[in-house]
Amino acid sequence: MKTKIGFILCLLTSAVFAQEQAAEAPKYGWQKEMVGGLNLTQNKFDNWAQGGENSFAWQLNLNFKFVNDLEKSNWANSGKLTYGTTKTGEQEARKSIDEIKLESVYTYKLGSLANPYVAATGETQFAPGYAYSGDSKTQISAFFDPAFFRESVGIGVKPNDIIQTRAGASVKQTLASEEYPFADDPDTPDKIETTKNEIGAESVTDLNWKVAENTLLTSKLELFTTFAAFDETDVNWDNVLTTKISKYINMNFNFKLFYDKDISPKRQIKQAFAFGLTYTFL
């Protein structure tokens, strides 16, 4: 009888241990996520004593992430597509936000905190951009004009699920047309270059922090320094604070700081607050 009881206890212990092992086993394979959002804002006035101007704004966002996590490697692909316009009074609709950004990072797992990686990123816009002065406008950019690409290799560190960073050697390309000379070399005034290549070092830090049960802060800080000018560092810092109101409604605040001396001697800042619909496709 004691032998049977001992045998049963062994079976139960083995089953519990097997369940614990199965629960702790990492889930390998593809992890897919795609979230879209539409934000609308309208103001309309009719004989309003305090004054005001009719306005209508819309913004469409699509963010996706496809990650293939295996025992010895991780291949993470992500993208951000954003476009929106604003119309105020009798003015024609003007672009308020416009961004295409894609990133692919392949990491080889050494079983340690630091792991080697290779990465590629690309960034451009959908529609032409204009500078406005009174009733006139001047086109200053277009689709794929400019376009920025960066390839890199180095070491990545991911101490936890909230933050990860990587640093290494990098090559950056700037593509533009002769009409919008973002890639032009000022040292060759008799020629307008349409391609510029820079070799340097990059650092990319990603933060994904769940501030509260329904609030998420995502931040990406990208730094690039060309070996030809160590005192000039390109900065691209994108922050989004998202609060989920319900299953299909959320609000988010976006703050982006951008600096590239070849484009503008001053830093560029963009802020946007949006409230609208969101839908998870995957």
Write out pLDDT tens, residues 148-158. Answer: 999 999 999 99
Q: What pLDDT is attached to residue 135?
A: 81
Q: What pLDDT is attached to residue 9?
A: 40
Q: Look at residue 2 and give its three-state secondary structure.
A: helix
Whether omega before 146 lies within 30 degrees of 0, making that bond cis, reads: yes
Q: Look at residue 35 and give its three-state secondary structure.
A: strand
Can you give the pTM of this predicted structure? 0.86
Distances (CA, A) of 103 to 126, 222, 255: 17, 12, 20
Which CATH number is 2-280 given? 2.40.230
End-to-end CA distance of the chain: 55
Q: What pLDDT is attached to residue 24?
A: 57
Q: What pLDDT is attached to residue 13?
A: 46
Q: What pLDDT is attached to residue 17?
A: 46
Q: What pLDDT is attached to residue 225?
A: 96
Which residues in the chain show pLDDT less than 70?
1-25
Where do the domains of the chain lie?
Answer: 2-280
Do the Cβ atoms of 102 and 82 come closer than 8 Å? no
Please, what's the b/e burial string for 43-67 (b: 16 or more CB within 10 A of its CB; e: otherwise)? eeeeeeeeeeeeeebbbebbbbbbe
